[in-house]
Structures are given as C-alpha cells and as structure tokens.
Homo-oligomer: A and B are copies of this chain.
Amino acid sequence: MARVVVEVMLKSEILDPQGQAIAGALPRLGFSGIADVRQGKRFELEVADDVDDEQLARIAESLLCNTVIEDWKVVRA
C-alpha cells in the first residue's frame, strides 16, 4: 500500500470566491501580509502498489476533478 495525494485547484483564470472571502476576512481579523488566497481540495488515497500513475490520472480526471475548471496533480508521498 502506498499513500498518494491528489491536489485539485481551480485553474488560475477561474474566479475563486471562497479564496477571496478568506483573503478579505484576514485583515478584519488582524492578519496582514497575505496578498492572495486560493482554496482547493486534496484527496489522500491508500492505493495498492500495482496502481500506476496512468490509472491515478484517470481517477483524478474522471472522479476527483472537473477538468473544465480545475487542475490536478498527483503527489506520491
């Protein structure tokens, strides 16, 4: 078994209102110096050793991510 992380973020050209809300709240809470926030998802998968990157890519694109608006990245831990 291996631990694999799939990171999913909105494409940079897509507006991220959740991230903007956080960035707007930070100064009100007294935190300065944060120029931008973008929110995304991460998935931790416990995968069998014979699951290859090509299969992980198909899982990410078919189930974990909306490829129209999101980018994904597989990170083997």
> Complex: how many Å from CA A30 to CA B62?
11
A74 at the binding interface (Cβ < 8 Å) = no
**With A42-B40, A63-B25 as given contacts, are A33 and B9 in contact (CB-CB < 8 Å)?**
no
Cross-chain contact B47 with A43 (CB below 8 angstroms): no
Q: How many identical subunits does the complex contain? A: 2
Total A residues in contact with B, Cβ cutoff 8 Å: 34
Closest to A52 in B: B33
> Complex: how many Å from CA A32 to CA B37?
35
> Complex: how many Å from CA A7 to CA B42?
8
Cross-chain contact B9 with A44 (CB below 8 angstroms): yes
Which of A1, A38, A44, A64 has the largest count of B CB atoms less than 10 A from its CB? A44
